[in-house]
Amino acid sequence: MTTSIKSEYDIIVIGSGLAGMTAANVLARSKHRVLLLEKHYKLGGLATWFHRSGGHVFDISLHGFPVGMIKSCRRYWNAKIADRIVVLPRIKFDNPQFSITTTFNRDDFTRLLVSRFQIPEDRVREFFDCARGMSHLDNAAMTAKELFDRFFPGRGDVVRLLMEPITYANGSTLEDPALTYGIVFSNFMSKGVYTFQGGTDLFVRLMREELTTNGVDIAVNAGVQKINVGNGCVHSVVLNEREIRTKAVLSNANLKGTIFSLVGKEHFSGDFIDEAESVRLNNSSTQVYIAIKPGKTLDEEVCGDLLFSSTAPAFRTDLLLSRNITSRTYSFYYPRTRPGTDRYYVVASTNANYDDWAGLSKTEYEQSKRDLIDDTLNALQKYVPNIREIAEYTEAATPVTFEHYTGHWGGASFGTKFEGLAVSRKLSQQIAGLYHAGSVGIIMSGWLGAVNYGVIVANDVDAWMLGNS
């Protein structure tokens, strides 16, 4: 642990993902006494990084987010963070149906859809307006497939262009509500894809400095065993057999883990537990990390910043989760991504099922990781023909890896499916002083969604605290 923990706080935040850290910062700015607890040895949740010998620094999830991240970071964090958010100029798609490069904004996508895919401009404009007009209050009955059938019937190539990056961004499938697609897509389409210049380690370090400045007590290696509830309200948490009193708890842990493990279903109504049990976890992922040898480079014109690559003849969301991998998203990190270094890195990501990895023996698991790395290098040779010669270090992460470090049930990369949002919002109606913030369906998902949901829930907690002071 890294701080002297007091015996009582106004609010305890469990988990230091971007939603947890942002909520803690907002609440501390409102002059509440806040304790932030993290089970891992560093902050960030899935927004994290790791070091390896040779000076290598690998980012886990720093791949891209909408322009709205600049505004949210400036308002809820500081200008030092916001000013380092920069646009990624080259987003590439390569599959059997098309190969294109785009700046991934509305103007460029309109140009591509009209000139390359021969879609009438008024239809393109109508589609974009429809996606932009979606909100969390809309009826979620229409699926993403029905949305595409309405605007682009029989155009699987168009669906692939519009859907594939969002499936990567938040795990949405064609069978999920169109709402979960439309909100995320329209936010990205505003002005393109952005990233944090300097790497996740700098990003989180600047956040930690801001939290400390605002008076948040922070402890790592601090996994909470229990949230204690009595008479319908939160009264303490148990940390390493020590009870710490609090008026409110904001959990940034997995939603289902919060309900069933940290609190216990006996403290909730039967109807709520039925609803919570029906919440589906979102998918997990695999990642392969590749460090390029000193002095060797990657061709930015060929690779781009983000490359959505697939060998599948058509887009099918079930194929994205298959162990027989046909689709990979490559994130290319250049010296401009991390100023001050001349190193190049590649992170290859795929959507994945937890069950495909969790049941393997230790020997099978290690062999499967080696196979994953080897298959990834084979696939990457299309864009970097000499990748095996210039790669200095490789490593793989699986859904089991993400479960181990984050505690997310099923190693879920994006929390839960859409129905988890309602359950998350209802926690405080079940138990006074109990809140949850994290990745639940669609609050724009990814980094921006986590930050903004942290703000929303922090404001809820602040209002409740003021009403019960």
Sign for the pseudo-dihedral over CA of 347, 349, 353, 359: negative
Q: How many residues does the chain have?
A: 469
- Where residue 256 falls among pLDDT bands split at 50, 70, 90? very high
- Where residue 365 falls among pLDDT bands split at 50, 70, 90? very high
With a cut of 80, say whether residue 288 has pLDDT above it: yes
Higher pLDDT, 438 or 119: 119
Q: Which of 18-32, 254-268, 407-421 shows the lowest mean pLDDT across its residues? A: 407-421
Rounded to an integer, the average pLDDT of 419-445 is 88
Higher pLDDT, 16 or 63: 16
**Residue-level pLDDT at 116:** 96
**What CA–CA distance (Å, rounded) separates 65 from 195?**
6
- Where residue 414 falls among pLDDT bands split at 50, 70, 90? confident
**Residue-level pLDDT at 8:** 97
End-to-end, the C-alpha distance of the chain in Å comes to: 30
Asked whether 31 and 269 are in contact (CB, 8 A), the reply is no
With a cut of 60, say whether residue 95 has pLDDT above it: yes
Angle at 368 between CA 366 and CA 374, to 5 degrees: 105
**Residue-level pLDDT at 132:** 86
Rounded to an integer, the average pLDDT of 336-344 is 86
**Residue-level pLDDT at 187:** 80
**What CA–CA distance (Å, rounded) separates 390 from 387?**
5
Please list the alpha-helical segments (H only) found in 171-225.
178-188, 200-213
With a cut of 90, say whether residue 309 has pLDDT above it: yes
**Residue-level pLDDT at 263:** 98
**Residue-level pLDDT at 445:** 67
What are 172-222's pLDDT values in tens digits? 788 888 888 888 888 887 888 999 999 999 999 999 999 999 999 999 999
CA nearest neighbour of 171 among 307, 317, 312, 356: 317
Rounded to an integer, the average pLDDT of 3-23 is 94
CA nearest neighbour of 185 among 137, 148, 139, 141: 148
What are 136-155's pLDDT values in tens digits? 656 668 899 999 999 999 99
Q: Which residue has the tokens 């864009």?
A: 383
Q: Which residue has the tokens 């002071």?
A: 469
With a cut of 60, say whether residue 429 has pLDDT above it: yes
With a cut of 90, say whether residue 50 has pLDDT above it: yes
Mean pLDDT taken over the chain: 92
**Residue-level pLDDT at 441:** 63
Helix (H) or strand (E) holding 217: strand 217-219
CATH superfamily of domain region 8-47+201-280+414-467:
FAD/NAD(P)-binding domain (3.50.50.60)
**Residue-level pLDDT at 112:** 95
**What CA–CA distance (Å, rounded) separates 386 from 384?**
6
**Residue-level pLDDT at 37:** 97
**Residue-level pLDDT at 110:** 94
% residues pLDDT > 70 (the chain): 97
**Residue-level pLDDT at 1:** 52
**What CA–CA distance (Å, rounded) separates 446 from 172?**
12
Sheet of strand 98-102: strand arrangement? 98-102, 91-95, 306-310, 327-333, 345-352, 284-292, 391-397
**Residue-level pLDDT at 2:** 52
Higher pLDDT, 107 or 1: 107
With a cut of 70, say whether residue 344 has pLDDT above it: yes
- Where residue 169 falls among pLDDT bands split at 50, 70, 90? confident
% residues pLDDT > 90 (the chain): 75
List the structure tokens of 256.
Answer: 């289902």
**What CA–CA distance (Å, rounded) separates 178 from 127?**
12
**What CA–CA distance (Å, rounded) separates 334 from 339?**
9
**What CA–CA distance (Å, rounded) separates 67 from 223?**
34
Rounded to an integer, the average pLDDT of 329-340 is 89
- Where residue 3 falls among pLDDT bands split at 50, 70, 90? low
Rounded to an integer, the average pLDDT of 361-374 is 97
**What CA–CA distance (Å, rounded) separates 363 from 168?**
29
With a cut of 60, say whether residue 400 has pLDDT above it: yes
With a cut of 90, say whether residue 272 has pLDDT above it: yes
Rounded to an integer, the average pLDDT of 290-314 is 94
**Residue-level pLDDT at 9:** 98
Q: For residue 445, list its beta bridge partners.
A: none
- Where residue 443 falls among pLDDT bands split at 50, 70, 90? low
